[in-house]
Structure 1
Amino acid sequence: MITKCLMCGGKTVRKKVTTENWWGEKLTFVENVPAFVCDTCGEQYFEPEVCEELDRLRETPPVAKKTIQVPIYNFPKTIVR
């Protein structure tokens, strides 16, 4: 159990989160993932069993609950220093 954020020192609380998961070149999201979330900065921490289950999902992806489209943009080159 992670009670203190390693990034900012804030307190973590148990929550269900949506996390991104790259399966090869395919970006996916997994909903309702148990995590410890920092109440100050929002950093998320997962227990080993949760990480193992996410790995299993990568190996044998389930049928998608839904599919969304996400636009992709190029960053403007005008801010080069």
Structure 2
Amino acid sequence: MKHEYADCSFCGGKVTEKKIQVDYRTGDELVVFENVPAGVCRQCGEKYYTAKVVKALEQMARDKTITGRIIHIPVKSFTEKRVI
């Protein structure tokens, strides 16, 4: 799935297509997608997705069938006392 991307709208850098990992939140759930095609700015790292990719991610996130591996993620609360 190759797509030609315009230059980065933030820094003007060259955007090239790569396969990336996307952390997608929906409600209280977090779904991690691997091998997602996206345009990534070589200069600042900003990511761009086609409408078809976004629609597919939304549909896959709603599907509760687990087809990949499961990872465990620790959740920590931020505390102001730790800010120096």
TM-score by shorter chain over 0.5: yes
> Using a 3 Å threshold, how does the CA distance of structure 1 residues 17 and 65 change in structure 2: closer, same or farther?
same
Conserved? CA contact 2:14–2:41, under 8 Å:
yes
Q: Which runs of 5+ in 1 are unaligned?
A: none
TM-score normalised by structure 1 residue count: 0.83
Q: Which 5+ residue runs of structure 2 have no aligned equivalent?
A: none
Superposition CA RMSD, Å: 1.8
- How far off is 1:72 after superposition? 2.4
Match in the other structure for 1:67: 70
From 36, 42, 46, the equivalent of 1:43 is 46
Q: Cα distance, 1:36 vs. partner?
A: 0.3
Identity of aligned pairs, percent? 31
Separation of aligned partners in 2, 1:3 and 1:62 = 35
Retained in 1: the 8 A contact 2:31–2:61? no
1:33 corresponds to: 36
Count of residues in Structure 1 that have an aligned counterpart in Structure 2: 80
TM-score normalised by L of structure 2: 0.80
